[in-house]
Every structure is written in structure tokens, then in C-alpha cells.
Amino acid sequence: MDWVWNNFFTGTDSNVGIWGLTLDHLWLSALPIVLGFVISIPLGYWASHSRVARSILLSVFSILYTLPSIVLLVVVPVTLGLPIISPTNVIVALTIYAIAVMLRSATDAFSSLSQDVVEASRAIGFSPLQRFFRVELPLAGPVLLAGARVVSVSTVSLVTVGSFIGVDSLGNLFREGKSTNFGTEILAGIIAVLIIALVYDSIIVLIGRILLPWNRRASRRSARAAELREVSA
Amino acid sequence: MIEFKSVSKLYADGTHAVDNFSVVIPSRKTTVFVGSSGCGKTTLLRMINRMVDPTSGAIEIDGENIANTEPVHLRRGIGYVMQNSGLLPHRTVIDNVATVLFLTKVPKVEAYARANELLDTVGLDRSLAKRYPGELSGGQQQRVGVARGLAANPNILLMDEPFGAVDPIVRIDLQAETMRLQRELDKTIVFVTHDIDEAFLLGDQVLILEKGAKIAQRGTPEEILANPASDFVASFIGADRGKRRLTVDSKVKAKGNDVVLIDAGGYAAGVISAPGGKLAVGSASPKSRSVSNKTSQAGDG
Ligand SMILES: Nc1ncnc2c1ncn2[C@@H]1O[C@H](COP(=O)(O)OP(=O)(O)OP(=O)(O)O)[C@@H](O)[C@H]1O
Ligand SMILES: [Mg+2]
């Protein structure tokens, strides 16, 4: 425990302390989560409207997803012509993973919209753009956010891999702790990663509550209905 | 007035949904398209607000070819009510009703005031305004759907089997409301159903359709009942099964001057009063669904 306090603001191999590594970790994971989410929405919408787009997009990203992260971390800088220790590599690689997971959710979300509702919004005079932003996107919201929660957790843990090519993150604690055989440091790293994952997850849930109030009332209702069914059964 | 001029619709997959369809739909009256599933009723209705564009022919509203109007603009000026209400599940009842007003940039305060009035118009309690559609019964949702269809005060209201999914008692209620609204608001209503009783109840003009939206017969309910144009029509309206041919049941005595009527199957169908053994004749005042004597057209006012 003393080790944690002594190394909180300075120390560890890059001398930025646990706090410094946490900040690195925060933005290295936040960017891929947000980018993956934003990029997946138009791609998923397209995939849900065109069979061809769907099969091409989903198979390309499935293949990319099967590449081990360390391979991707080497392939990305070579392809983009970046130095291997640039944080951009981590961000690009993790964004690709994020899209691979998020694209499936987004495609499902947009494919499973009620056609009655979409047709009705067309019939009463929403323009295509209004329909997308005011009807389809909000209704896809719950499934999109569920996807974002999965992406968030996996991205936060994958950032640690960057430490093995020299991009600082909480993964440094794993690398250093392992090489010096110092369990406390590894444990500190794991706990810090878990805390970040929890914080991000709570933020996503909170955003959902604020932006999708109708969804909460709807799910409470169906939960109550399920309870009633159970009681009566 | 809405006019279909030799309209055909061939879907991309080769389905001839509508084949050379021509008809005049008069203003401020209710016209009902009735026919069995897949005969092209929805396609006809959706061509009026350009949800579907005809492959050939033209549709005119008050003499203007709608192919020349911008679809989104056209749709905002025509009410549309559909079977499963099609309400936006993420908007409250009041927001659903006001949607079209928001789209046409009516100020919020004004839009909500109008939406609240419309809840009264369709017989919904204002206390439901803040609920989400999922928190209403099917019949209430359908009323919200009608209120939404009326929000922009359109001259034309398109209704596609709006009461198909509600129970018979609620349906009778909603049908009565529809007749009252038509009388009070004086809309041009185009109504689609596969229920012939509903068609005869609501329609000033009824079109019985066969596959490909071929008109089997067009007329008032009385004209069609009195003179079915073909065996198809006779069978469709149930005349051949004797459902509409009623006789006096001599075995059962009803109270007062009433006698019981039975159909050809022997099932009780209703009662009629017969003072002194003579059947009563329909009262002299003609059935009137529209009290208006205005002659102006669908696009005005
Ligand atoms: N988008 C479409 N693409 C291809 N075929 C279609 C499409 N919409 C409808 N059809 C076909 O056109 C025909 C008429 O369909 P329409 O929906 O107009 O019938 P309907 O009379 O409204 O039927 P229902 O009473 O079942 O609603 C049917 O054979 C239907 O399968
Ligand atoms: Mg239909």
C-alpha cells in the first residue's frame, strides 16, 4: 500500500506515477470508444439498408477483429507510416476493434426498428434527415448503448497492450511489475483499470438515462409484466 | 377532390398491385376502399401522399398533379392514421400529437395548446398527455393516432385499417367517433378496411375492390346492397349467404310491438317494430353523415 502512495504522482518507469499513467490510460481508451461509436453509426445504418454493404462490412471487420492486438499494433504504424511508439497507433488499432464490435450492435439496432414507426414518421412528413436524427437514432439508442458498454470495457483493458510497444498506460505497471516480480504493482494496475472501466460504464448508463428516459419507463413496465407473469405462473 | 386517372403500380418485384385505376373522390365525404387482403388498398392510399409513386397515370388533388409537389411538404398537409397507430414510442402522447406542428415550425406554446385541444376532440383525457404510447391501451393509442392525423388541420385524412387491431366494442366506439369527427370537422376522408360492415357504416361512397385494385362496384352502401353488380360483390357483402336478407321469426315473441328478425341461417339479427302487425318504414329524415352544404374542395380553407 505504501508503494502506491509513494508512486502516485511520481515514480514508475516513465516517472509520471500511477496518476499520470491513469490519465494516459483515460484518453487512450476514451478516443477509440467515442470514435468507434461515431463511425459505427453511419456504417451500421448503411449495413442495415443494404445486403451487400452488410456482408462486406461485417466480414471485413470480423477478419480485422481476429488479428491479435499485438499484430495490429505493428501493422498499423507500418501502414500509416508512423513511428511504432506513437500513441496514434494504439488509438487507430483500438478504434478498429471498437468498430468491429460496435458495427454489429449498430446493424442490429437499425435492422430491428419497428417498420410501422419508421413508415408512420415518413407518412406524417419527417424528411429523411429528420427521420434519422429524431426517430431512428433515438429508437436505436438502447441497443447502441448496450454495444457501447461492451466496447468500453474491452477497450479499457486492451489499452494496456500498448505498453508493450512503448506507449504509456496503466499497462506499464503490469510490464514493470512482471519484470521485477513485484505483485503489488500488478495488483495496483488491475485495480486502476477496473476503476476506469467502472467509471466509463457508469457514464454510459447515465447518458442513457438522460437521453432515453422513455426506455427506462418501458423496461420497468416490461420487468413488472414479467414479474406478474411469474407470480401468476 | 382527389382524382385517380388511369393509375397503375407495378412493384419492383413484378407485383401488379394496382392496374389502371380511375376514380373521383369527392371532398368532405368519406370514401371507403374495401377488399380482401392484398388487393391493393394500402398501395392506393399511399399513392395519395406520395409514400408510393405510381408507375403510370396521375393523381390530382383539386386539379393539381401531385407528382409536381414535394413529397415531404405534401405529407405534412395530409393526415395519416394507420393500423398499429405508428406512434413514436419515445415521445409522450402530447408530443406525438404535436409532432407535425413541430415539423412545420409552429411555436411550441401554440403547438401544445392545439395538441391539448385535439385530445379533447378525440375524447382522450388530458391527464394522459404526459404518458408514453406504451402506457396506453390499444384503443387509446388509436385515438392518439387520429389526433395526430388531425393536428395540422388537414383537409384530407387517410386512414388505413385504423381500427383493425382493437376489440369489437372499442371499434364501434371509434367508428362512431370517426363519423362524429367527419360531421363536425368536414374532412375528406379516405378510409381503407377489409370489413364490409365498417365500410357500409362509414362510407358515403364505397368502392369494392378485387385483386389489382380492380373496381368490382362503386356506389353508396344503399346502391350496392340493393343491386350487387356481380356474384363477387354479392358474395363479398354477404348477400348470397343470406346474411343481409332478414325475415320475421314467427316463433319468438318480443316485447311491445317489436318482432324478431332472423337471417337465412336462422340466427337472430335484430328487431323491428311492427305496430298493429304492420312493419315500420324508415323515418323520412334522410341519413346524413355530413351536415355541411359547403361545396368547396379539399384543398381550400
Ligand atoms: N413494397 C412492396 N414491394 C413489393 N410488393 C408489394 C409492396 N407493397 C405491397 N406489395 C404487394 O402489392 C399487393 C397489394 O398490396 P397492398 O399492401 O396494397 O394490399 P392491401 O389491400 O392493403 O392488403 P391488406 O389488406 O393485407 O393490407 C400485394 O400483393 C402486396 O404483396
Ligand atoms: Mg393494407
Q: Which domains does chain B have, with CATH numbers?
A: 2-236 (3.40.50.300), 245-277 (no CATH)
**Does B171 sit in the ligand 1 pocket, CB within 6 Å?**
no
Per-residue model confidence as pLDDT tens digits over B92-104: 999 999 999 999 9
Pair B257, B251: CB distance under 8 Å? no
pLDDT band at A105 (very low <50, low <70, confident <90, very high): very high
Please say whether the beta carbons of A97 and A69 come within 8 A: yes
Rounded distance between C-alpha atoms, residue A141 and residue A147, angstroms:
10
pLDDT surpassing 90 at residue B25? yes
The cell for B133 is 404510447
* Alpha carbon distance A38, A31 (integer Å): 11
Average pLDDT of span B56-79: 96
Is residue B296's pLDDT more than 60?
Answer: no
Hey, of A124, A127, A212, A215, which one would you mutate to test binding to chain B, going by the most B CBs within 10 A of its CB?
A124
Residues of chain B with pLDDT > 90, as a percent, come to 70
pLDDT at B290: 45
User: Percent of chain B at pLDDT above 70?
Assistant: 91
Lowest-confidence pick of A29-43, A209-223, B256-270, B284-298: B284-298
pLDDT over 80 (residue B277): no
Contact B199, B190 (CB under 8 A): no
Q: Please report which residue ranges of chain B form alpha helices under DSSP H.
A: 41-48, 71-76, 93-103, 108-121, 138-150, 168-185, 196-202, 221-226, 231-236
From chain A, the residues in CB contact with B76 under 8 A are: 124-125
B47 Cβ closer than 6 Å to some ligand 1 atom? no
Helices A183-211 + A171-179 axis angle, to 10? 170
Render pLDDT for B77-134 as a digit per residue (tens, 0 to 9).
999 999 888 999 999 999 999 999 999 999 999 999 999 999 999 999 999 999 999 9
Alpha-carbon torsion angle B44, B46, B49, B55, nearest 10: -70
Atom of ligand 1 nearest to the CA of B36: 25
B40 burial (CB, 10 Å; 0-12 / 13-18 / 19+) is: buried
Rounded Cα distance between B41 and B39, Å, is 6
A124-133, A163-172, A174-183, B241-250, range with greatest mean pLDDT: A124-133
| Ligand 1, atom 4, residue with closest C-alpha | B11
Alpha carbon of A224 to ligand 2 centroid (Å): 34
Taking residues A76-85, what's their average pLDDT?
Answer: 84
Cβ of B293 closer than 6 Å to ligand 1, yes or no, is no
Distances (CA, A) of B234 to A10, B155, B269: 93, 34, 19
Is B55 close to ligand 1, i.e. is its CB under 6 Å away? no
CA of B212 to the centre of ligand 1 (A): 10
Which chain A residues have a beta carbon less than 8 Å from that of B134? 214, 217-218, 221
* Residue B300 CB contacts under 8 Å (≥ 6 apart), including other chains: B62, B155
Which chain B residue has the Cα nearest residue A219? B134
Residue B254 backbone phi and psi in degrees, to 5: -100, 175
Tell me the average pLDDT across B20-31: 96
Atom of ligand 1 nearest to the CA of B41: 21
As a whole-number percent, the residues of chain A with pLDDT over 90 amount to 55
Q: Between residues B272 and A158, which one has the greater pLDDT? A: A158
- Please spell the DSSP secondary structure of A134-195, one letter per residue: IIIHHHHHHHHHHHHHHHHHHHHHHGGGGGGGT--STHHHHHHHHHTT-HHHHHHHHHHHHH
- What integer pLDDT is reported at residue A10 of this predicted model? 74
Ligand 1 centroid vs A29 CA: distance in angstroms? 49
A39 confidence band (pLDDT: 50, 70, 90): very high
Q: How confident is the model at residue B295 (pLDDT cuts 50, 70, 90)?
A: very low
| Span B125-182, pLDDT tens digits | 999 999 999 999 999 999 999 999 999 999 999 999 999 888 888 899 899 989 998 8
- Centre of ligand 2 to C-alpha B258, Å, is 41
Given a cut of 80, whether residue A218 has pLDDT beyond it is: no
Contact by Cβ (8 Å): B89, A214: yes
pLDDT of residue B283: 59
Per-residue model confidence (pLDDT) at position B292: 43
pLDDT interval class at A1 (50, 70, 90): low
The answer on pLDDT for B245 being more than 80 is no
Question: d(Cα B106, Cα B79) in Å, to the nearest integer?
Answer: 17
Contact B103 A124 (CB under 8 A): yes
Between B72, B84, B89, which is nearest A139 by CB?
A: B89
pLDDT for residue A175: 85
Residue A125 has its nearest CB partner, among B75, B87, B89, at B75
Nearest-neighbour CA in chain B from A119: distance (Å): 8
> What is the complex's ipTM, to 2 decimals?
0.81
Alpha helices, H only, B122-167: 138-150
Cross-chain residue pair B80–A215, CB shorter than 8 Å: no
- Chain A contacts of B49, Cβ < 8 Å? 123
Q: Which of B83, B90, B104 sits opposite A139 (nearest CB)?
A: B90
Pocket flag, ligand 1, residue B37 (CB < 6 Å) = yes
Cβ–ligand 1 contact at B38 (below 6 Å):
yes
Of all protein residues, the one whose alpha carbon is nearest to atom 13 of ligand 1 is: B17
Q: Residue with C-alpha cell 395538441? A: B115
Going along chain A from its start, the domains and CATH numbers come out as 2-232 (1.10.3720.10)
Give the phi and the psi of residue B104 in degrees, each rounded to 5.
Answer: -95, 15
Torsion angle, alpha carbons of A195, A196, A198, A201, to 10: 180
List the single residue in A with minimal CA-CA distance to B92. Answer: A214
For the Cβ of B270 lying below 6 angstroms from any atom of ligand 1, the answer is: no
What is the average pLDDT score of chain B? 88
Residue B259 makes CB contacts below 8 A (sequence gap 6+) with B248, B249, B271, B272, B273, B274
Question: Whose atoms come closest to the Cα of B40: which ligand?
Answer: 1
Strand-pair partners of B35: B209
Convert the pLDDT of each residue in B214-234 to its tens digit: 999 999 999 999 999 999 999
